[in-house]
Amino acid sequence: MIPTSFPPRDEIARLTARALLEIKAVHFNTDTPFTLASGLPSPTYIDCRKLISYPRIRSMLMDFMAVTVMRAAGFEAFDNIAGGETAGIPFAALVAERLALPMTYVRKKPKGYGRNARIEGVMSEGQRVLLVEDLTTDGGSKLSFVDAIRDTGATCAHTAVIFYYGIFDGTEERLAEHGVALHHLCTWWDVLAEARDQGTFDTNNLTEVEAFLKAPRAWQDARKT
């Protein structure tokens, strides 16, 4: 069903952060930092994939994503919803259902046999495509997916994610230079605020996490091994 209720953006951010904390998708560990895909350390880690196992929460957040993109881009702005392999695929399917639109997905690279395709499903020349993923850090992975979509002759001027790190300089500008607008439900700052309100983590952890969020590159550089 197409959502028709449009909560304020700050309420969407607060409730999304609360949901992520409730299902323990958020992890803070300043004593033994996590290692990101980049190889750099981080005291924060988030696992949005857990959301698919919580029907009530995933339904709420997909409603939020649908209204977020409709409010920002328009009510008839898209013809196709594409998920990025792999985490974006279930969320793209859920958003496509809400917007009553076709769904496709984009491979990270050609599969190496058969049609050697990167796009699965039917994507047509001239279609306006919304790229959906679970999260973005610095926006880099989105550009490859967008280029694969555009190679079909379709257009892709918008990407939507549940979670946006919101701490690395130049992310939205980098996407904008590529002709892509970023839409998100919440950031690390929203999660930190909600964690403080709930008392979810101890004060020392939260203080160190805030130091990381304010200067992530400096924090990482000081802890490289």
> 137 labelled as ligand-binding?
yes
Query: Annotation-wise, does 140 bind a ligand?
Result: yes
Dist CA 81 CA 159 (whole Å): 10
Asked if omega into 136 is within 30° of 0 (cis), the reply is: no
Q: Is 138 annotated as a binding residue?
A: yes
111 in a known ligand binding site: yes
Q: Is 15 annotated as a binding residue?
A: no
Q: Is 68 annotated as a binding residue?
A: no
Indicate if the alpha-carbon torsion angle 192, 194, 197, 202 is positive or negative. negative
Q: Which residue has the tokens 């970023």?
A: 182
108 is in an annotated binding site: yes
Return all residues near 87 (Cβ < 8 A) that are at least 6 apart. 48, 49, 133, 134, 135
Question: Is 50 marked as a binding-site residue?
Answer: no
Q: Which two tokens stand for residue 179?
A: 């002709």
What are φ and ψ of residue 32, in 5° steps? -125, 85
Does residue 109 have a known ligand-binding role? no
- Measured over all CA atoms, what is the biggest interatomic distance in the chain, rounded to whole angstroms? 54
d(CA 162, CA 91): 9
Nearest 5°: phi and psi at 28?
-120, 130
39 is in an annotated binding site: no
Residues making up the annotated binding site for orotate are 137
Residue ranges of the binding site for 5-phospho-alpha-D-ribose 1-diphosphate: 107-108, 111, 133-141
* Binding region: 107-108, 111, 133-141
